[in-house]
Structure 1
Amino acid sequence: MNVASNESAYSLPPEAEDLLRGTCPDPFAVLGRQPHGRLDVVRAFCPDARAVRLVVQRPRSAPVERAMRRVDERGLYVGTVPAGARYRLKIGWADGWEETEDPYSFGLLLGDLDLHLFARGEHRDLDRVMGAQPMVIDGVAGVRFAVWAPNAFRVSVIGDFNVWDGRRHPMRLRHAAGIWELFIPRIGPGERYKYEIIDAEQRLLPPKADPYALAAEQPPATASVVADTSPFAWTDEDWMQGRAGRQAHTAPLSIYEVHLASWRRPEGDPHGILRWEDLERTLIPYVVDMGFTHIELMPVMEHPFDGSWGYQTLGLYAPSARFGAPKQFAAFVDACHRAGIGVILDWVPAHFPADAHGLAHFDGSCLYEHADRREGYHPDWHTLIYNFGRNEIRGFLIGSALTWLRRYHVDGLRVDAVASMLYRDYSRREGEWLANIHGGRENLEAVAFVRDLNVTIAELCPHTLMIAEESTAWPGVSWPVADGGLGFSYKWNMGWMHDTLAYMGRDPIWRRYHHSEIMFGLHYAFSERFILPLSHDEVVHGKGSLLERMPGDDWRKHAGLRAYFAFMWAHPGKKLLFMGGELAQPHEWRADGEIAWYRLDQPEGRGMQALVRDLNRLHRAIPALHRADCTPDGFEWLIGDDVDNAVFVWLRRAPDAAPVLVVCNMTPVPRPAYRVGVPSGGYWRELLNSDGGEYAGSGMGNGGGALAEPEPAHGCDHSCVLVLPPLAVLYLTPEWGA
């Protein structure tokens, strides 16, 4: 066949006109290699190119260049190569020549099993399949893009590599799963990109960030970024091998909750943000010194609006570029583990913001969200609600959770706003919500998702923590799914937090009338596995700081907060404290500031920090203070009815360990000779006195301990007479347990 005279090779299929207009739904039918007898026709669409050449590779000789014919002024070029010959494109732009493989010369990219599992919501490696994946195909390095947009008419990849021209890289639709795919050669990590989508009505949508992106631009920029997915060199083997013991229900768990941007600002820059490497040098040693077992980071997933504190997330697979690159985040987690600190992330599957570049109307339809506003709109946060009834949405969310737990070795997720997921009428008035298929208010699809999530994580990421922020009385939040529960490891005890803060906020003279507020949490303390949270939500929006919520003068405020912390650390349940509380911060938390580090120059601030440090030390060292946190045999009331004096006394116990006597005096009146029953005689040593001078208290106490006499009291055969300091809590243990 005479190549030069084979004019039929240059005729165009009917779809070519759609391609030239930028509306072709199947670019592979027009572009790339097309068989034509003993020749292959190659078509390339290169708008604004001045020339395009074919570089034909030959088995035993140097490549040969052939000019391609421009068959349309809008940039469509056609050439021929011997059948099966390998070729490259050499494209002449205004500023020079680009040589690259043809994106449309590659075959199908995703396997049938990938598509099948994705459609069923059962693919557990979506962070390695979807989004932008650097890889080598047929010996060619590049990036494979894959995005779910089943209702789109056309999807293109746009980025710096094609001057954001949606005509240049339209994608192939895999109909079985509604996924569009394309391999773009000779690009790699660091490239910015988005998707240009034409919807089913052939309307051009705003460019969309990649829902599965593993990295993104630093806000306010909104492009996705091709991440470096090469393996990270982890050095946390000891931590990972011992994590099962460290995170067992019998282990101490004391969590420091942190908003990274406002924990500490770079010196001399009140608006700057510490990067991951800075936090590795500063935050980790601080948490170690304070004795916390874990840090919990408010959402570090990419989000467009700083003022949401991360809770309006759009990049559920991407660490926020505010703090550095994904591998720097991995290095931070690795350093935490080497220092003996676990990492918990706040994670938000309940809702997402409606930003035009995000998930809202992603392919022109309500794809990620419900179409009906009564199901798909969150009135509290003006956000959109995921459609938990779709397989692909459940898979997307579970894939995100697995990404953090597996790719980044994160030790747990605190799932935000679970209550808003469980109830269809959450924060809605009559007529503003739709009942479930049984006519009830429970969101059955969300319940099924939560159970699927927790079962999957228990199977694939054993010994990680799944923690529910759930503020209602939904039963069995932390029960196994097999027993009818939701399957979480722990539930935040929001009721305990609200009741005890209300009690502590009352003038002590009135506390006798609100005895139940301090006691009520112990009526249900073992109905779930609980974390006792003093979270960021309690020190914003006009609630005041923890210190401000204590009544009285400055001395009483500090004494009351010290007593409250000591009460909390002795109460059954794991512990969580938001940053700044340990400094007795006198003002509300401000996300655009930093915590009150100046308090370390004042005795009261240093004293509060020292108390929290000692509480954590005792919590970790004394088995009775943590080992039976979740079972009723670890707690015994001794005095719960001294309403007039506002004194509470209980024992904390653990198998094969010495008990701890906890004595709380919640009034500013000292009790100089208060008799307390104890289970054994001998000397009871004082482990902690929250009124100690080292904590900036009055120093009143028992001189290190008290001798128990064989005088019955409070159901015990022995008792000791104690000095109860004002607004203070004492911990004592028998000397034999020292």
Structure 2
Amino acid sequence: MSLDAAEARALAHAEHGDPFALLGPHEGERAGQAGVWIRGLAPGALGLTVVDVEGEALAEAEPVHVEGGVFEAFVPGQTRAQLLAAGYRLALTYPHDHRERVEDPYRFGSDLGELDRHLLGEGTHLRPWTVLGAHPRTLEGVAGVRFCVWAPNAASVAVIGDFNTWDARRHPMRAHPGLGAWELFIPGVEAGARYKFELRLGDGSRAQKADPYAFAAELRPATASVVAALGAPRRLPKARAEANHRRAPMAIYEVHLGSWRRSSEGEGFLDWDALAEQLPAYAAELGFTHLELMPIAEHPFDGSWGYQVTGMFAPTRRHGDGEGFARFVAACQDAGLGLILDWVPAHFPTDAHGLARFDGTAFYEYADPKEGFHRDWNTLIYNFGRTEVRNFLVGSALYWLERWGLDGLRVDAVASMLYRDYSREPGEWIPNAEGGRENLEAIAFLRRLNEVVGAHAPGAVTLAEESTAWPGVSRPTDAGGLGFHYKWNMGWMHDSLAYMAKDPVHRSHHHDQLTFSLVYAFDENFVLPLSHDEVVHGKGSLIAKMPGDRWRRFANLRAYYAFMWTHPGKKLLFMGCEFAQEREWNHDVELDWWLLDPARCEGHGEHRGVQALIRDLNGVYRGEAALHARDCEPEGFEWIAADERETSVIAFVRRSGPAEDPASRCVLVVCNFTPVPRHGYRLGLPEDAAARPRWRERLNTDSAFYGGGDVGNGGLELRVEDRGAHGRARSIALTLPPLATLILEPA
């Protein structure tokens, strides 16, 4: 049966919701003769002929909508199966005698398997990215790309791109009723092609959207998705999995790739290969165990630092393509570094090409702004209660870990996910089904996330940026926790930085800010973070926070770093802080590497001294089990002097195991946070430490090597004496340098 005028018009204007019902081969009859109707779309074409694989004409098509390029032909005497088995092509004639012979996209059946359909429908597909998105395929011997997008409330969807002059009339997609997905295989499209989806919305308007599951995208400010082949999974090497264990040392170097270093001209970003050559070697030489990259998923605005993501499956084009990123990952692991990715499932930007009202409805976000809009960041909040959204986010997490072989994900803004009243006044939020402030859907999502990571990405870890006292963030889900491996210790960071910012003369009144963290230090598996958030938005650099003259500021910072490296918990330091960059971080320019150049900073070697200290702290931390094996367990820590407020001195012991275990190693740590040297300071020793008759300095932050005054106990054996101190029967006497931290080990 020939198309009627209404059907032809709907096809011509890309308004038909079920194009496969009309296009391609369909059995029928004409004038009482059985055969196959073949209908095609070719806007701008003057004619269309159905030809066999040899190019011989089978039937001339008639235009049924000239302006829209809708043609139909009738091939008599054949069944659809016979025609498909023999093969056919569409021969197109355009003005100026331009001719093309193309495959008919509408002769191919659906490439969605029943199992995929079932898992997508119930929201339990662990790897939805293998189905949705753009995938190079060869179907029936024909190479092309299978496109699939989830848009259940769209009236129709078309693929637009380089390959069809961005014309939605040319490639309308197959609808999958009940599933909400749209699918189309387009022959001849290759990797590297740019594309989007054009959706006709319920109100008749249209929206052009980037692919939520795209594996690549254009460089901003362009916004199209890019076809890219899906690489093979990369299993995390066994050595890396062991290095992520909570009893292993973890010293993380946090990096914003766009401003770590710039190109030789100082303006452009380094590509993945340049980063692979420079960054892993630098971090490894300083002794860090892991790199943490601020978000590298595709994002439109540099000033968001990557935290407003539009491509949850696409490494940013700013540094090159996915193959380059794979080489960068390999370079990190070859250098013995774990790679952690900052991952953002809490919110997304409102950009028109992104997820906002994707199919004309609040599909990815909560519909009510009281649930779905972040006023702090002007972003939208994912609807964690929606099956498709949870599938999308959990799939994204597993994709980065499984496909790229990453060591872990640092999950951003967890606190904002857990509470419905986060940053909202009374009346500006909607209680949960039980009347409470907790976001029960987000809690369920986070638990599901961590269970999937644990089961399907063994050895990989998740770290929560969670700033409240929510219990059990790093407790297993079967014990009632959220299931993260680690939690950022924001309380330690805020308290200790506030303490260090005070003039030493006032510190005696704020001693608890230094010691309170040990009250809860083992409630979670903590990471101690000095992150990018502490050196931006007017907060100044870490060295700028320190009080006093130049000498005191550097001495304070060195003492603080050693306190951090010896405090229970894994470590994280933002780039530039390792050499005490003096200006606030600016994402638009590279770090002030010139501060490390002796020719440019003659007589000011303090920056090189701080860098040397970080190198040595990492070496001591990694090499001494007492400083990392029990980072997350109370057996690894004991106070010696916690209450010496007037002198601002603290002292403690770190152990690799219980004190009663003779195989347990221990080190002593003493911090003097005043500019007064203390000679003959008597330090009481616990029994296991007193059993080691002689002690010596392992590290002194006042060493001249680090830019200090060289006050201390270098080269001296500190003998244990039968003299009481700090409630202990035995002690050692030592010199405490001013504004310094000592690490002591058995001689």
Q: TM-score range by the shorter chain?
A: over 0.9
Alpha-carbon separation, structure 2, partners of 1:658 and 1:430? 53
Could you tell me which amino acid in structure 2 is paired with residue 498 of structure 1? H
Match of 1:17 in 2: 9
Alpha-carbon separation, structure 2, partners of 1:228 and 1:178? 24
Q: Is the Cα–Cα contact under 8 Å of residues 57 and 64 in structure 1 kept in the other structure?
A: no
Q: Is the Cα–Cα contact under 8 Å of residues 491 and 529 in structure 1 kept in the other structure?
A: yes
Alpha-carbon separation, structure 2, partners of 1:71 and 1:658? 86
Match of 2:672 in 1: 665
- Is residue 729 of structure 1 aligned with residue 730 of structure 2? no
- Is residue 703 of structure 1 aligned with residue 714 of structure 2? yes
Q: Is the Cα–Cα contact under 8 Å of residues 665 and 725 in structure 1 kept in the other structure?
A: yes
Compute the displacement of 1:712 (Å).
Answer: 2.8
Q: Is the Cα–Cα contact under 8 Å of residues 291 and 616 in structure 1 kept in the other structure?
A: yes
Alpha-carbon separation, structure 2, partners of 1:409 and 1:11? 52
Q: Is the Cα–Cα contact under 8 Å of residues 554 and 606 in structure 2 kept in the other structure?
A: yes
Alpha-carbon separation, structure 1, partners of 2:12 and 2:534? 58
Could you tell me which amino acid in structure 2 is paired with residue 275 of structure 1? D
Alpha-carbon separation, structure 2, partners of 1:160 and 1:703? 69
- Is residue 33 of structure 1 aligned with residue 25 of structure 2? yes
2:413 corresponds to which of 410, 417, 423 = 417
Compute the displacement of 1:670 (Å).
Answer: 0.5
Q: Is the Cα–Cα contact under 8 Å of residues 649 and 661 in structure 1 kept in the other structure?
A: yes
Q: Is the Cα–Cα contact under 8 Å of residues 115 and 176 in structure 1 kept in the other structure?
A: no
Could you tell me which amino acid in structure 1 is paired with residue 487 of structure 2? K
Match of 2:550 in 1: 554
Q: Is the Cα–Cα contact under 8 Å of residues 56 and 66 in structure 1 kept in the other structure?
A: no
Compute the displacement of 1:438 (Å).
Answer: 1.2
Alpha-carbon separation, structure 2, partners of 1:400 and 1:195? 20
Q: Is the Cα–Cα contact under 8 Å of residues 8 and 64 in structure 2 kept in the other structure?
A: no
Measured against aligned partners, the alpha-carbon deviations of 1:190-220 in whole angstroms (never above 9, x if no partner) come to: 0000011111122122x10000101000011
Give 5+ residue unaligned stretches, structure 1.
Answer: 1-8
Structure-2 change in CA distance of 1:539 and 1:524 (3 Å):
same
2:435 corresponds to which of 433, 439, 447 = 439
Alpha-carbon separation, structure 1, partners of 2:496 and 2:296? 30
Measured against aligned partners, the alpha-carbon deviations of 1:558-605 in whole angstroms (never above 9, x if no partner) come to: 000000000000000000000000111111000001112111124111
Match of 1:566 in 2: 562
> Any residues of structure 2 matched to 1:307-456 within 5 Å, and which?
307-456=303-452
- Is residue 197 of structure 1 aligned with residue 209 of structure 2? no
Q: Is the Cα–Cα contact under 8 Å of residues 708 and 720 in structure 1 kept in the other structure?
A: yes
Compute the displacement of 1:77 (Å).
Answer: 1.4
Q: Is the Cα–Cα contact under 8 Å of residues 116 and 176 in structure 1 kept in the other structure?
A: no
Alpha-carbon separation, structure 2, partners of 1:612 and 1:55? 72
Alpha-carbon separation, structure 1, partners of 2:2 and 2:120? 39
Alpha-carbon separation, structure 1, partners of 2:200 and 2:95? 29
Alpha-carbon separation, structure 1, partners of 2:125 and 2:154? 22
Alpha-carbon separation, structure 1, partners of 2:493 and 2:472? 19
Measured against aligned partners, the alpha-carbon deviations of 1:486-514 in whole angstroms (never above 9, x if no partner) come to: 00000000010000000000000000000
Match of 1:485 in 2: 481
Match of 1:691 in 2: 702
Q: Is the Cα–Cα contact under 8 Å of residues 691 and 700 in structure 1 kept in the other structure?
A: yes
Alpha-carbon separation, structure 2, partners of 1:504 and 1:94? 76
- Is residue 502 of structure 1 aligned with residue 495 of structure 2? no
> Any residues of structure 2 matched to 1:597-676 within 5 Å, and which?
597-601=593-597, 602-655=604-657, 656-676=663-683
Match of 2:138 in 1: 136
Compute the displacement of 1:116 (Å).
Answer: 1.9
- Is residue 245 of structure 1 aligned with residue 245 of structure 2? no
Question: Secondary structure of 2:220's partner?
Answer: coil
- Is residue 460 of structure 1 aligned with residue 456 of structure 2? yes
Question: Secondary structure of 1:624's partner?
Answer: helix
Q: Is the Cα–Cα contact under 8 Å of residues 49 and 57 in structure 2 kept in the other structure?
A: no
Alpha-carbon separation, structure 2, partners of 1:149 and 1:645? 65
Match of 1:68 in 2: 61
Question: Taking every aligned residue pair, what percent have the same amino acid on both sides?
Answer: 54
Question: Secondary structure of 1:134's partner?
Answer: strand
Question: Secondary structure of 2:614's partner?
Answer: helix
Compute the displacement of 1:21 (Å).
Answer: 2.4
Compute the displacement of 1:727 (Å).
Answer: 0.4
Compute the displacement of 1:379 (Å).
Answer: 0.8
Alpha-carbon separation, structure 2, partners of 1:94 and 1:643? 89
2:126 corresponds to which of 124, 127, 140 = 124
Compute the displacement of 1:90 (Å).
Answer: 2.3
Question: Secondary structure of 2:511's partner?
Answer: helix
Q: Is the Cα–Cα contact under 8 Å of residues 493 and 532 in structure 1 kept in the other structure?
A: yes
- Is residue 182 of structure 1 aligned with residue 184 of structure 2? yes
Measured against aligned partners, the alpha-carbon deviations of 1:273-312 in whole angstroms (never above 9, x if no partner) come to: 0010000111111011011000000000000111000000
Structure-2 change in CA distance of 1:327 and 1:94 (3 Å):
farther
Question: Secondary structure of 1:71's partner?
Answer: strand
Question: Secondary structure of 2:735's partner?
Answer: strand
Q: Is the Cα–Cα contact under 8 Å of residues 190 and 228 in structure 1 kept in the other structure?
A: no
Alpha-carbon separation, structure 1, partners of 2:526 and 2:213? 33
Could you tell me which amino acid in structure 2 is paired with residue 78 of structure 1? E
Q: Is the Cα–Cα contact under 8 Å of residues 10 and 79 in structure 1 kept in the other structure?
A: no
Compute the displacement of 1:658 (Å).
Answer: 2.3
> Any residues of structure 2 matched to 1:43-122 within 5 Å, and which?
43-57=39-53, 63-64=56-57, 66-74=59-67, 75-81=69-75, 82-83=78-79, 84-85=82-83, 86-94=87-95, 96-122=98-124
Compute the displacement of 1:53 (Å).
Answer: 2.3
Alpha-carbon separation, structure 2, partners of 1:93 and 1:190? 26
Compute the displacement of 1:65 (Å).
Answer: 6.1
Match of 2:600 in 1: none
Compute the displacement of 1:112 (Å).
Answer: 2.5
Structure-2 change in CA distance of 1:230 and 1:649 (3 Å):
closer
Normalised TM-score (structure 1): 0.95
Could you tell me which amino acid in structure 1 is paired with residue 60 of structure 2? A
Q: Which moved more, 1:107-116 or 1:62-71?
A: 62-71
Compute the displacement of 1:91 (Å).
Answer: 2.3
> Any residues of structure 2 matched to 1:145-164 within 5 Å, and which?
145-164=147-166
- Is residue 720 of structure 1 aligned with residue 732 of structure 2? yes
Question: Secondary structure of 1:721's partner?
Answer: strand
Measured against aligned partners, the alpha-carbon deviations of 1:511-533 in whole angstroms (never above 9, x if no partner) come to: 00001000010000000000000
- Is residue 255 of structure 1 aligned with residue 262 of structure 2? no
Structure-2 change in CA distance of 1:636 and 1:376 (3 Å):
same
Match of 1:4 in 2: none
Match of 1:3 in 2: none
Compute the displacement of 1:64 (Å).
Answer: 4.6
Alpha-carbon separation, structure 2, partners of 1:76 and 1:543? 63
Could you tell me which amino acid in structure 1 is paired with residue 429 of structure 2? W
Could you tell me which amino acid in structure 2 is paired with residue 19 of structure 1? L
Question: Secondary structure of 2:498's partner?
Answer: helix
Structure-2 change in CA distance of 1:230 and 1:452 (3 Å):
closer
- Is residue 266 of structure 1 aligned with residue 266 of structure 2? no
Structure-2 change in CA distance of 1:87 and 1:625 (3 Å):
same
Question: Secondary structure of 2:52's partner?
Answer: strand
Compute the displacement of 1:699 (Å).
Answer: 0.9
Could you tell me which amino acid in structure 2 is paired with residue 217 of structure 1? E
Compute the displacement of 1:733 (Å).
Answer: 0.8
Measured against aligned partners, the alpha-carbon deviations of 1:524-557 in whole angstroms (never above 9, x if no partner) come to: 0000000000000000111110000000000000
